[in-house]
């Protein structure tokens, strides 16, 4: 079998083997403990940042604090969704990216410099606007495919944040305006994929591949779940797996919110489950969401 055949075989097996019992247990303990605040959704997940550090960034979302503020502020997923929703209503797509980027970088010092370079790219506004339309009409994977390589410096670890928050904003619109249901995004909904989450998927794929006797399981897993530059196919595999695993958790009797796949994404990023060692890992810091 060629490497692509091995990758396809591993993907097929991952669809059958979602979360092992150890993972379900670890995630259940987290939800009953430090993760209890996310039992109704991940919207309250917040990071700290310093508004003044972003003083050179334009356009600035009106929903975020003024950058004359010298201290720290907290920005949650719900805050970013609100800012994204407002930006989308104004067709200010760069504002939506700014909100997602600020949340993703938190207090990281080099974030404003990188974002300024991205916003200066001549393709950024058109690419984001097109992605917004594609997400609404064709779904997350198609929108991901359109953004991949479209803007210099904007990689999937951050443009999946943009897609995730925009999709959450679209979902709010469907709740507020039921008549928009016929214009609903194609499922599965967009989720964040960054380096840390991909490494969890890589470790899980490695163990599954070894259990199925797959030749060079670790090499194949490292190839398909690399640290970045994921194909749209890989993003689709990721979304399908997360959504299916969320359904598994919802039926496991641990109180998992079945309509919130982003809670599982958050838990994986936080290191709640470590597939490499198959035990409950010490949760990592939630202060940053970059790759």
Q: Where are the domains of the chain?
A: 3-33+193-280, 46-183
- b (16+ CB within 10 A) / e for 256-276: bbeebbbbbbbbbbbbbbbbe
Task: Measure the CA–CA gap between 169 and 77, rounded to whole angstroms.
Answer: 11
**Range list of H helices, 76-110:** 77-89, 93-105
For 144-154, the pLDDT digits (tens) are: 999 999 999 99
pTM > 0.85: yes or no: yes
> Distance between CA atoms of 224 and 221, rounded to whole angstroms?
5
Encode pLDDT of 93-108 as tens digits.
Answer: 999 999 999 999 988 8
Segment 247-280, tens digit of pLDDT: 999 999 999 999 999 999 999 999 999 898 754 3
**What digits encode the pLDDT tens for the residues 83-92?**
999 999 999 9
Higher pLDDT, 179 or 7: 7
Share of the chain above pLDDT 90, in %: 82
CA distance 119 to 108: 18
Retrieve residue 271's tokens: 């290191």
The Cα 128–Cα 147 span in angstroms is 8
d(C-alpha 115, C-alpha 91), whole Å: 19
In the predicted model, is pLDDT for residue 9 greater than 80? yes
């Amino acid at each position: 079998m060629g490497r692509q055949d091995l990758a396809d075989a591993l993907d097929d097996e991952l669809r059958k083997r979602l979360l092992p019992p150890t993972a379900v247990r670890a995630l259940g303990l987290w939800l009953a403990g430090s993760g209890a605040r996310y039992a109704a959704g991940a919207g309250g997940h917040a990071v700290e940042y310093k508004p003044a550090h972003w003083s050179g960034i334009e356009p600035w979302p009106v929903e975020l604090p003024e950058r004359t503020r010298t201290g720290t502020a907290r920005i949650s997923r719900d805050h970013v969704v609100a800012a994204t929703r407002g930006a989308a209503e104004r067709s200010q797509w760069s504002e939506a990216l700014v909100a997602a980027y600020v949340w993703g970088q938190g207090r990281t010092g080099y974030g404003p410099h990188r974002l300024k370079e991205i916003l200066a790219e001549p393709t950024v506004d058109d690419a984001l606007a097109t992605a917004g339309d594609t997400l609404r009409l064709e779904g997350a994977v198609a929108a991901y495919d359109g953004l991949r390589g479209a803007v210099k410096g904007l990689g999937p670890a951050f443009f999946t944040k943009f897609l995730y928050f925009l999709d959450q904003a679209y979902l709010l619109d469907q709740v507020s305006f039921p008549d928009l249901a016929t214009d609903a995004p194609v499922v599965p909904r967009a989720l964040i994929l960054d380096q840390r989450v991909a490494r969890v998927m890589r470790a899980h794929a490695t163990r599954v591949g070894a259990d199925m006797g797959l030749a060079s399981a670790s090499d194949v897993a490292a190839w398909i779940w690399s640290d970045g530059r994921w194909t749209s196919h890989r993003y689709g595999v990721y979304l399908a797996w997360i959504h299916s695993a969320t359904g598994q958790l919802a039926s496991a009797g641990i109180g998992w919110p079945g309509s919130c796949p982003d809670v599982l994404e958050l838990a994986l990023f936080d290191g709640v489950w470590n597939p490499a060692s198959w035990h409950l890992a010490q949760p990592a810091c939630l202060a940053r969401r970059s790759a």
